[in-house]
């Protein structure tokens, strides 16, 4: 499959680049691991044979009263009444069961389909195995990939089998395989993506050579539980052929939950639907499990929103680890920049909705001939789930009728239109809600950007004003310095003028007469109304400069008595003349 073809619908301007990067990095890869299957196992070539081989009639959903099993408290029984409904609240079941949602759902479905009796599953081993599964799912304390997610996927598989009528197309071993695969499909999930394992060169990535790292670990670790401890080996009584066929189916289904194979898986099924040949069962079951794995956007909003919040928190924790390791953020793993609403809209438009469309078409293609053949042959294909005996907390058996089951899973009761309307309605409502939230986030971000830009402008203006003040202060200091220099020059000039008469003490009468003439001319000049100010000295405590100006008073040349006598003598001589 060409990766560019797979991404042709995603390269749209309406999808943010971050969302496109996430879709491309998560749901595509250049080479997908080829899944192997046993080509020699028997195939149902005849529709009648398929109906006959898949019929459970009275055995389906039958409980055995002589088998010791789980005792459900009344609160759990109340929640389990809705297990046949599309938007089953697995969170409520987990709360009422004390964090044992996976144990309740897995045991309940194996009992309803009478698989425990058919394959002689030891009940003690079953309980021990599911307890170990729950421990493994809780190992890394993941917000999303935990035992509640496993229980939710397993219950969704049950709904798809029951409501679409595809259960009539499958053998008991195949039903056992798909329920078992749903229960273990994320066992011991690390809360990080395959790409994170590859980038950090983890031991798991080294073990599986960077190919479906987590998916290989899930199925391998689950089978090691069965093999290492006989007390929890629920497959101990299967024949060798059944064990091998079930393992082939489980391995293929779990590996197909690798999101990087999504587009290839969908395209393969589309091509199979265009051919007249019978659809390959392992591929059909793989698509069934993959759809259940990504089905929460097609559930009611409160469930979908809670799953989304948990998943994004898990992504953000991976982003925190990447930041600590100095790695670039993976798509949708940055707490500060991730666009939650936009990512979910892209996920619904390009992944969830197309997958459900292909699944619905596949189920119609498979089940419609079975319904027609059953009608022609007079076989109703009737499989009962009428009244299920559920053990109460007091050890007695309580009769619980599942809401929505309508007492049967008859082929004639299958309604594809109702199923299609259900998931389309939920998807559209959820998408519209995300669009409203996206618009709200956009307006808030725009408002925040305006506030930030306003703050930046104010900071720039304040910075500019402060720079101006600094320049003004520097200019004032320079002016003050210039004034001080001028003042010093003026004082020095005055000192020199005062020193000259003293040095010219022996001048001739011509010089004195000339000077006296000048003095008389100056006396005859018109005097101004106010005294002339020949010199102004700025005070040393000037406020504008805060610079202390050195006083020159002490440096003025002193006038001695001899000089004063000479000046008086000159004045008397002028008067005599």
Q: Which amino acids are annotated catalytic? A: 145
CA separation for the pair 392, 523 (Å, rounded): 134
Return the axis-axis angle of helices 101-112 and 172-184, rounded to nearest 10°: 180
Question: Beta partners for 388?
Answer: 400
Collect all residues with Cβ–Cβ distance below 8 Å to 43 and sequence separation of at least 6.
278, 281
Residue 212 has a CB neighbour count (10 Å cut-off) of 23
H or E element: which one contains 397? strand 397-400
CA separation for the pair 375, 342 (Å, rounded): 47
DSSP state of 299: S
Question: Beta partners for 389?
Answer: 399
CA separation for the pair 89, 98 (Å, rounded): 15
Tokens 């990766």 -> residue: 3
DSSP H helix total and E strand total for the chain: 22, 2
The answer to whether the beta carbons of residues 160 and 170 sit under 8 Å apart is no
Tokens of 201: 């060169």
Collect all residues with Cβ–Cβ distance below 8 Å to 412 and sequence separation of at least 6.
371, 374, 375, 380, 381
DSSP state of 384: B
Q: Which long-range contacts (CB under 8 A, 24 or more apart) does 231-237 make?
A: 231/124, 231/125, 231/128, 232/125, 232/128, 232/129, 232/132, 233/125, 233/129, 234/121, 234/122, 234/125, 234/126, 234/129, 235/119, 235/121, 236/122, 236/125, 237/119, 237/120, 237/121, 237/122
Tokens of 507: 């001048």
CA atoms within 13 A on the CB side of 87: 16
């Amino acid at each position: 499959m060409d990766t560019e073809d797979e991404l042709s619908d995603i390269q749209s301007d309406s999808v943010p680049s971050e969302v496109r990067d996430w879709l491309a990095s998560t749901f595509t890869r250049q080479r997908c691991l080829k899944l192997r299957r046993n080509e020699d196992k028997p195939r149902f070539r005849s529709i009648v044979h398929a109906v006959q081989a898949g019929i459970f009639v009275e055995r389906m959903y039958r409980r055995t009263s002589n088998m010791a099993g789980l005792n459900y408290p009344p609160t759990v029984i109340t929640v389990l009444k809705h297990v046949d409904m599309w938007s089953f609240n697995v969170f409520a079941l987990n709360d009422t069961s004390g964090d044992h949602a996976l144990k309740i759902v897995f045991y309940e479905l194996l009992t309803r389909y009478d698989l425990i009796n058919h394959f002689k599953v030891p009940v003690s081993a079953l309980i021990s195995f599911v307890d170990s599964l729950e421990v493994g799912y809780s190992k890394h304390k993941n917000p999303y990939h935990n035992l509640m997610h496993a229980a939710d996927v397993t219950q969704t598989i049950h709904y798809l089998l029951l409501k679409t009528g595809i259960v009539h197309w499958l053998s008991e071993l195949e039903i056992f395989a798909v329920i078992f695969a749903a229960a273990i499909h994320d066992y011991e999930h690390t809360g990080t993506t395959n790409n994170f394992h590859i980038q950090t060169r983890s031991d798991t990535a080294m073990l599986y050579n960077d190919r479906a790292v987590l998916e290989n670990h899930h199925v391998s670790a689950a089978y090691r539980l069965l093999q290492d401890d006989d007390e929890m080996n629920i497959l101990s009584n299967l024949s060798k052929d059944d064990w091998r066929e079930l393992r082939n189916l489980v391995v293929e289904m779990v590996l197909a939950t690798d999101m990087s194979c999504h587009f290839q898986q969908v395209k393969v099924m589309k091509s199979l639907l265009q051919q007249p040949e019978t659809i390959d069962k392992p591929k059909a079951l793989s698509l069934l499990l993959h759809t259940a794995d990504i089905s929460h956007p097609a559930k009611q909003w409160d469930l979908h929103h809670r799953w989304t919040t948990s998943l994004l928190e898990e992504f953000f924790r991976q982003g925190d680890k990447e930041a600590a390791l100095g790695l670039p953020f993976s798509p949708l793993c940055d707490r500060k920049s991730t666009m939650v609403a936009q990512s979910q809209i892209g996920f619904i438009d390009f992944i969830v909705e197309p997958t459900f469309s292909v699944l619905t078409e596949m189920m119609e293609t498979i089940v419609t001939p079975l319904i027609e053949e059953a009608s022609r042959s007079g076989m109703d294909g009737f499989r009962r789930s009428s009244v299920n005996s559920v053990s109460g907390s007091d050890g007695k058996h309580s009769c619980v009728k599942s809401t929505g089951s309508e007492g049967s899973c008859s082929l004639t009761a299958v309604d594809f239109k109702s199923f299609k309307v259900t998931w389309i309605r939920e998807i559209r409502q959820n998408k519209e809600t995300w669009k409203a939230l996206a618009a709200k986030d956009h307006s808030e971000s725009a408002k925040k950007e305006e506030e930030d830009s306003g703050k930046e402008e104010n900071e720039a203006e304040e910075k500019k004003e402060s720079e101006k003040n600094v320049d003004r202060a520097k200019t004032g200091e320079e002016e003050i310095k210039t004034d001080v220099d001028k003042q010093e020059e003026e004082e020095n000039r005055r000192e020199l003028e005062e020193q000259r008469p003293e040095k010219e003490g022996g001048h001739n009468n011509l010089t004195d007469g000339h000077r006296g003439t000048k003095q008389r001319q100056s006396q005859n000049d018109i005097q101004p109304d106010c005294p002339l100010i020949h010199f102004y000295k700025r005070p040393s405590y000037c406020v504008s400069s805060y610079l202390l100006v050195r006083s020159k008073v002490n440096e003025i040349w002193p006038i001695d008595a001899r000089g004063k006598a000479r000046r008086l003598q000159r004045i008397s001589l002028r008067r005599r003349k």
